[in-house]
Structure 1
């Protein structure tokens, strides 16, 4: 069996040539170019390398680790777009091509997109696809409501943003629950808000329940304490509250109510002040 492209391999140094070392798995040899050869390497040593196909179509070993391997889902940046597709920075000398037919939406230079790295069996080269849906798991027993998860912002829809949860599941953040700026390709910490009967997963960028209120209360109190007052109050516009604090007006009013009952603040129409001592 040949060496798998797009994966790590531990290979033995077989022989030295002017331009590098030939490594072997016992059946097949592959070149490790001189610039990747670790110092004090000897014949017979074992080296961990990443194997891929270079721009001339030859399998090559490198000691550099890519940003993603075959089978991985990752957020990568587009370096250029040509007549054949988009080329993304994958941390190697050769960029990762995403053919046009594998783009869920037209990719633009300088922007990040979530892709899955695949092996193109026709060319034996790594390619990317942003059409990830078929590769995502449908089993959600591993997730619990309220659980903290890692997400990648994948696609924008009319409802909100589709996200990849823990690089395994699909979820959705609704537009009306986003209180800060998000972009495709962003990697965030988030929380499982709900797992629906049909298996769909709602995700929130904020903690849920009591813990969330406690965290947000402290945030608001810290902002008031910084200057003694906050230029937001009971009648402030919801958009202004969302812009300045990253929360809904409903949450803001609930927090103010709690701080007021605790005797920590005074509330006015468009201002909140620390309660004077005594």
Structure 2
């Protein structure tokens, strides 16, 4: 089956002067000659993306678009016309973002977060309604490590993350250790999966693993500072966050580990490496 808007591996059925036809005896799509590798033979399989060309014909390409069906990405507006905005998605033919799919007025040269969908005319288009594009049917479960792209930030709710650019994820605002922006990629741990399959994320590892990591971070920073770090239990949370990118609670737990292991000692104005 030829799947519009998706990458798939198809078999070469026959060759023609204009390129290679891929698929099977009943369902075929053209891979234009300029994309056909010189070593390609009948019955070979090739990884392609399926879309429509400038004449609205279904075609295959070996080029990799920045967006596939069911995913979201940050794309730049290349042109604004009377039917909508055209966006650069890495293929010869730009992707249309219709006016009805725009949640804000877009400007040429700026980047916007969009998803890909098939419209009523069976054409691929972009939409700014990204939340509706994402799926809750992720293969991940609690404690899995995932990677995703931030697509929305609501200070009173959380940081919304498209895991694998395809699945619903949310990072609580309290987890943010720095200023994030749309398009940023993050690695996180799944801490909860609700009935709809949406993932609640955390930047922290499992408790013991996180303490290991935090104590290591503190120790390395002390070494980097020449054996002394001007932080202690009374340091302000913002100062700890600025120097170590961790919360005061995490700092105290990591420091506690180092003190128990007798690797550091507390001074009145900070922490120093313990002399052997």
Kept after mapping to 2: 8 A contact 1:33/1:61: yes
- 1:95 alignment counterpart: 94
Kept after mapping to 1: 8 A contact 2:72/2:133: no
* Alpha-carbon distance change, 217 to 126 in structure 1, aligned in 2, over 3 angstroms: same
Query: Which residue of 186, 189, 201 corresponds with 2:187?
Result: 189
Aligned pairs (5 A) from 1:228-243: 228-243=227-242
1:261 maps to 2:264: no
1:249 maps to 2:248: yes
- 1:14 alignment counterpart: 14
Bigger mean CA deviation after superposition, 133-142 or 97-106: 133-142
Instruction: Identify unmatched segments of 5+ residues in structure 1.
Output: none
1:149 maps to 2:146: yes
In the alignment of these two chains, the number of paired residues is: 269
Report Cα offsets for 1:130-150 as digits up to 9, x if no partner: 424345455689522x33223
Kept after mapping to 2: 8 A contact 1:120/1:127: yes
Q: Secondary structure at the match of 2:149?
A: strand
Q: Secondary structure at the match of 2:275?
A: coil
Kept after mapping to 2: 8 A contact 1:232/1:272: yes
Aligned-pair distance for 1:250? 2.0
Q: What is the distance in 2 between the residues matched to 1:39 and 1:209?
A: 54
Q: Secondary structure at the match of 1:258?
A: helix
1:223 maps to 2:224: no
* Alpha-carbon distance change, 244 to 91 in structure 1, aligned in 2, over 3 angstroms: same
Instruction: Identify unmatched segments of 5+ residues in structure 2.
Output: none
Q: Secondary structure at the match of 2:250?
A: helix
Query: Which residue of 199, 207, 222 corresponds with 1:209?
Result: 207
Q: What is the distance in 2 between the residues matched to 1:260 and 1:74?
A: 46
Kept after mapping to 1: 8 A contact 2:103/2:129: yes
Q: What is the distance in 2 between the residues matched to 1:198 and 1:269?
A: 51
RMSD of equivalent CA atoms: 3.3
Aligned-pair distance for 1:36? 1.0
* Alpha-carbon distance change, 214 to 238 in structure 1, aligned in 2, over 3 angstroms: same
Aligned-pair distance for 1:37? 1.9
Q: What is the distance in 1 between the residues matched to 2:3 and 2:76?
A: 25
* Alpha-carbon distance change, 34 to 153 in structure 1, aligned in 2, over 3 angstroms: same
Q: What is the distance in 1 between the residues matched to 2:258 and 2:50?
A: 59
Aligned pairs (5 A) from 1:116-131: 116-122=115-121, 124-131=122-129
Bigger mean CA deviation after superposition, 235-244 or 132-141: 132-141
Report Cα offsets for 1:236-263 as digits up to 9, x if no partner: 3322221221111222123223322332
* Alpha-carbon distance change, 176 to 96 in structure 1, aligned in 2, over 3 angstroms: same
Query: Which residue of 171, 177, 180 corresponds with 1:179?
Result: 177
Aligned-pair distance for 1:176? 2.4
Report the TM-score when normalising by structure 2: 0.79
Aligned-pair distance for 1:157? 0.9
Kept after mapping to 2: 8 A contact 1:76/1:88: no
